[in-house]
Amino acid sequence: MSVERRAGAVITAGVIVGLISGAALGVVWSALAPRVPLVVRPESASPQGFQPEEYLASDIAFGVLGLVAGVAVTIGLAYMRREHLLSVLVAALLASGVGTAAMWFVGTRLGSVDIEGLQATTTSEIIVDAPLTVSLPAVYLMWPVASALIVTVLALSDWLAEVKRGR
């Protein structure tokens, strides 16, 4: 039994689910991602070590969470309205934009440190955990790319089913 839903309902659901899941994944990203030790001096702040691998690990964690969210949210949206994949694609891309922004916002705010304030108030060298950042902007695209890929696979499977029935 197929339940027909309006495209607007699927798009609204996509934005809401994207916002909620993005905020939740921001908390998960904050908990999973390693922090870079930061040496704060009165005149400067710099990472402890030459090239801290924690930056890459943080970006990978962000990207993997976005990839998993893109697959899960898009499959859920496709389940809501499989008969019209264009509305699923629009909803999934809106969910990915809102979700990625929410994940970044929540993740970077949790455990953040006011580096400039520490520099202004310290008289000696201290080591703190630096706030999370995304240093590879391409990881912002993991969620939308996963969403588009899922919709493409669904469209191809529908097309192949039509071709098979037509023979």
Q: Is residue 2 part of a domain?
A: no
Handedness of CA 67, 95, 29, 59 (dihedral sign): positive
Q: Is residue 154 part of a domain?
A: yes
pLDDT at 130: 80
Segments of the chain scoring below 50 in pLDDT: 1-2
pLDDT at 2: 45
Q: Is residue 139 part of a domain?
A: yes
Q: Is residue 1 part of a domain?
A: no
pLDDT at 1: 38
Query: pTM of the entire structure?
Result: 0.85
Residue 73 domain boundaries = 7-42+52-166
Q: Is residue 47 part of a domain?
A: no
Residue whose pair of structure tokens reads 């955990």 in the numeric block: 129
pLDDT at 51: 65
Domain count, the chain: 1
pLDDT at 122: 76
Q: Is residue 86 part of a domain?
A: yes
pLDDT at 141: 96
Q: Is residue 134 part of a domain?
A: yes
Three-state SS string over 54-104 comes to HHHHHHHHHHHHHHHHHHHHHHHHHHHCCCCHHHHHHHHHHHHHHHHHHHH
Q: What is the pLDDT of residues 87-112, one digit of tens each?
A: 999 999 999 999 999 999 999 999 77
* Structure token digits, residue 78: 């496709």
pLDDT at 47: 67
